[in-house]
Structure 1
């Protein structure tokens, strides 16, 4: 199984997207770089370098999902990245599982990238006063999507954070209401001038907070 690294930028965008729409489900796509340690492509490392927020209104399987995925695929190819998975935050604070339609989207992505994963936001861990890791990875095993509940805590887990200060950096961004400047495909459909693919302003804020952490 590959090793997965979640970068500050990717983690921050996921959480800010969830915080911007706390009363609805949100979802998006993971973008990654894939590295191998030798010519045999063993010891693969997948670095989740970015995400693209998709929806907060229409988080089911709709024609607009196909349009959104096509746009993300074009963006990923231009930036030499891989569509490496799916992320999801549920509407209910006590619901922390990957829902059936989320599993379908994750599986669709897996058809084109075998080592894809899904990340589910743990809503109960989104307290800015007590920063902690608020995502759980799902991997496809035994023909179903299963959570890795030991991720980020077990040394044997294939999942790590790029920077252990990421929860604190994210907490600062929540306090500063940085989520107000992150946009998803839903918002782009309402205002085509909004930067939903790169969300450059969020990247700038992430770098600023990282320096202060």
Structure 2
């Protein structure tokens, strides 16, 4: 199994997307770089970014195909892999990957064997007690299964780029940075909104790095 690294940018955008639409399900696509450890077969998949898709739709729709096609073009242009799917459920106590989310994740897996799904754990989104609020799902024994030991240290195949990511995300939520993240749904309502790169959010993140 490959080793997966979740970057600050990717994690932050997933959580901010969920926080912007707290009363609906949200989803999006994971973008990754694939690296090999020298000449060995050890594979590292770095989730470097995500593209937010929907907050209106909770089913497979024709617009999903349109959105996936545009993300695919964007990924190819930037030499990235469509490496998986993320999902946050509408209900705070629902932390599982739903059937339609499994179908989207499987569709992505058809083109990228090492794809994963990340599900937001809504009950862990506390600003006062920041903790890792995502659970990876891997395709095993012909079904999508949660890796509940992820991020717990070796031998887990999942790590965060920076151990401070939950705290950084909490600060970002407090500053209401989620107001400037846009998904494909919002782009369909206003084509001027930049859903693929989310430039406004990127500028905020860059500014925070310069001040740090």
Tell me whether the two structures share a fold, i.e. TM-score over 0.5: yes
1:206 CA displacement: 2.4
1:212 CA displacement: 5.7
CA displacement, residues 29-77 of structure 1 (integer Å, 9 cap, x when unaligned): 000000001335x110000000000000013100000000000000000
Determine if the alignment matches structure 1 residue 177 to structure 2 residue 163: no
Partner of 1:125: 124
Cα distance in structure 1, aligned partners of 2:120 and 2:158: 15
Q: Specify every segment of 5 or more residues in structure 2 that has no aligned partner in the other structure, as ranges.
A: none
Partner of 1:82: 81
Partner of 1:9: 9
Contact 1:173 1:209 in 2 (8 A): no
Give the aligned length. Answer: 212
Contact 2:153 2:159 in 1 (8 A): no
**CA RMSD of superposed structures (Å):** 1.1
Q: Secondary structure at the match of 2:79?
A: coil
Q: Aligned in 2, Cα 1:162/1:211: closer, same or farther, shift over 3 Å? A: farther
Cα distance in structure 1, aligned partners of 2:210 and 2:141: 42
Cα distance in structure 2, aligned partners of 1:177 and 1:119: 23
Contact 1:117 1:137 in 2 (8 A): yes
Q: Secondary structure at the match of 1:9?
A: helix
Contact 1:7 1:163 in 2 (8 A): yes
Q: Aligned in 2, Cα 1:123/1:211: closer, same or farther, shift over 3 Å? A: farther
Partner of 2:158: 159
Cα distance in structure 2, aligned partners of 1:110 and 1:198: 23
Determine if the alignment matches structure 1 residue 31 to structure 2 residue 35: no
Q: Specify every segment of 5 or more residues in structure 1 that has no aligned partner in the other structure, as ranges.
A: none
TM-score normalised by L of structure 2: 0.97
Q: Secondary structure at the match of 1:16?
A: helix
The equivalences for 1:49-128 within 5 A come to 49-128=48-127
Partner of 1:44: 43
Contact 1:172 1:209 in 2 (8 A): no
Cα distance in structure 2, aligned partners of 1:75 and 1:66: 14
Contact 1:8 1:206 in 2 (8 A): no
Q: Secondary structure at the match of 2:127?
A: coil
